[in-house]
Protein backbone atom coordinates (compact mmCIF):
# COMPACT_ATOMS: atom_id res chain seq x y z
CA UNK A 1 0.00 0.00 0.00
CA UNK A 2 1.39 3.38 -0.95
CA UNK A 3 0.83 6.44 1.16
CA UNK A 4 -0.38 8.40 -1.87
CA UNK A 5 -3.86 9.85 -1.97
CA UNK A 6 -6.10 8.97 -4.91
CA UNK A 7 -5.81 11.48 -7.73
CA UNK A 8 -8.10 11.60 -10.76
CA UNK A 9 -6.81 14.89 -12.13
CA UNK A 10 -7.32 18.62 -12.04
CA UNK A 11 -10.34 20.61 -13.19
CA UNK A 12 -10.21 24.31 -13.87
CA UNK A 13 -12.41 27.29 -14.66
CA UNK A 14 -10.69 29.33 -17.37
CA UNK A 15 -12.82 32.38 -16.53
CA UNK A 16 -11.95 32.76 -12.85
CA UNK A 17 -8.76 30.68 -12.70
CA UNK A 18 -10.14 28.11 -10.28
CA UNK A 19 -7.98 24.96 -10.12
CA UNK A 20 -9.23 21.96 -8.11
CA UNK A 21 -7.42 18.66 -7.66
CA UNK A 22 -9.99 15.85 -7.59
CA UNK A 23 -9.46 12.49 -5.95
CA UNK A 24 -12.30 10.67 -7.71
CA UNK A 25 -13.60 11.24 -11.27
CA UNK A 26 -17.14 12.05 -10.15
CA UNK A 27 -15.76 14.73 -7.87
CA UNK A 28 -15.00 16.68 -11.07
CA UNK A 29 -18.70 16.51 -11.94
CA UNK A 30 -19.62 17.77 -8.45
CA UNK A 31 -17.17 20.67 -8.81
CA UNK A 32 -18.59 21.47 -12.25
CA UNK A 33 -22.20 21.51 -11.02
CA UNK A 34 -21.45 23.57 -7.92
CA UNK A 35 -19.23 26.10 -9.72
CA UNK A 36 -21.61 26.45 -12.66
CA UNK A 37 -24.58 26.96 -10.35
CA UNK A 38 -22.79 29.69 -8.34
CA UNK A 39 -20.85 31.51 -11.10
CA UNK A 40 -22.42 30.43 -14.39
CA UNK A 41 -18.94 29.39 -15.59
CA UNK A 42 -17.99 26.05 -17.08
CA UNK A 43 -15.31 23.87 -15.53
CA UNK A 44 -13.09 21.71 -17.75
CA UNK A 45 -10.51 18.99 -17.22
CA UNK A 46 -7.05 20.57 -17.12
CA UNK A 47 -5.20 17.29 -16.46
CA UNK A 48 -6.55 13.77 -16.36
CA UNK A 49 -4.64 11.23 -14.26
CA UNK A 50 -6.81 8.30 -15.31
CA UNK A 51 -5.98 5.66 -17.88
CA UNK A 52 -9.16 6.09 -19.94
CA UNK A 53 -9.63 6.98 -23.57
CA UNK A 54 -12.56 7.32 -25.93
CA UNK A 55 -12.36 6.07 -29.49
CA UNK A 56 -14.61 8.91 -30.68
CA UNK A 57 -16.05 12.20 -29.46
CA UNK A 58 -19.57 10.73 -29.56
CA UNK A 59 -20.88 10.44 -25.99
CA UNK A 60 -23.07 7.38 -26.56
CA UNK A 61 -20.31 5.48 -28.39
CA UNK A 62 -17.73 6.38 -25.75
CA UNK A 63 -20.12 5.22 -23.02
CA UNK A 64 -20.64 1.89 -24.77
CA UNK A 65 -16.85 1.47 -25.14
CA UNK A 66 -16.19 2.24 -21.47
CA UNK A 67 -18.97 0.04 -20.08
CA UNK A 68 -17.27 -3.12 -18.86
CA UNK A 69 -20.49 -4.68 -17.61
CA UNK A 70 -20.27 -3.42 -14.03
CA UNK A 71 -23.77 -3.40 -12.60
CA UNK A 72 -23.21 0.12 -11.26
CA UNK A 73 -22.53 1.61 -14.69
CA UNK A 74 -19.81 3.98 -15.88
CA UNK A 75 -19.09 6.93 -13.58
CA UNK A 76 -19.97 10.17 -15.40
CA UNK A 77 -16.60 11.58 -14.31
CA UNK A 78 -14.75 8.74 -16.06
CA UNK A 79 -16.78 9.31 -19.24
CA UNK A 80 -16.09 13.07 -19.10
CA UNK A 81 -12.38 12.46 -18.50
CA UNK A 82 -12.14 10.09 -21.48
CA UNK A 83 -13.98 12.52 -23.74
CA UNK A 84 -11.90 15.49 -22.61
CA UNK A 85 -8.97 14.07 -24.61
CA UNK A 86 -11.23 14.34 -27.67
CA UNK A 87 -11.99 17.99 -26.88
CA UNK A 88 -15.45 17.43 -25.44
CA UNK A 89 -16.08 19.72 -22.42
CA UNK A 90 -17.82 18.48 -19.27
CA UNK A 91 -20.83 20.70 -20.03
CA UNK A 92 -21.33 19.05 -23.43
CA UNK A 93 -21.05 15.57 -21.91
CA UNK A 94 -23.71 16.38 -19.31
CA UNK A 95 -26.00 17.98 -21.91
CA UNK A 96 -25.69 14.96 -24.21
CA UNK A 97 -26.29 12.54 -21.34
CA UNK A 98 -29.49 14.42 -20.50
CA UNK A 99 -30.65 14.15 -24.13
CA UNK A 100 -29.80 10.44 -24.26
CA UNK A 101 -31.76 9.84 -21.03
CA UNK A 102 -34.79 11.66 -22.43
CA UNK A 103 -34.58 9.54 -25.60
CA UNK A 104 -34.46 6.35 -23.52
CA UNK A 105 -31.04 5.38 -24.91
CA UNK A 106 -29.28 5.25 -21.51
CA UNK A 107 -30.17 4.85 -17.87
CA UNK A 108 -28.63 5.68 -14.51
CA UNK A 109 -28.44 2.53 -12.34
CA UNK A 110 -26.86 4.51 -9.48
CA UNK A 111 -26.28 8.22 -8.94
CA UNK A 112 -23.88 9.70 -11.52
CA UNK A 113 -23.24 6.30 -13.15
CA UNK A 114 -24.74 5.58 -16.58
CA UNK A 115 -25.20 2.67 -18.97
CA UNK A 116 -26.40 2.25 -22.54
CA UNK A 117 -29.62 0.28 -22.89
Cut 0.85: pTM above it:
yes
Which residues have C-beta within 8 Å of that of residue 106, sequence separation ≥ 6?
60, 63, 97, 100, 114, 115, 116, 117
Give 53-109 pLDDT, tens digit per residue.
999 999 999 999 999 876 789 999 999 999 999 999 999 999 999 999 999 999 999
Over 90: is that where the pLDDT of 7 sits? no
Question: CA 61, 62, 65, 69 torsion: positive or negative?
Answer: negative
Domain boundaries, the chain: 9-116
Q: In this predicted structure, what is the pLDDT of residue 1?
A: 41
Q: In this predicted structure, what is the pLDDT of residue 72?
A: 86
- Starting at the edge strand found earlier in the chain, the sheet holding 74-75 runs 74-75, 113-116, 106-110
17 — pLDDT class (breaks 50, 70, 90): confident
Amino acid sequence: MSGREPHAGVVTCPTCELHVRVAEPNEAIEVYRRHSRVTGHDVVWERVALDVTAASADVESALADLDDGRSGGVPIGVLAAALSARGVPIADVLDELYELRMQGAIYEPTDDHVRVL
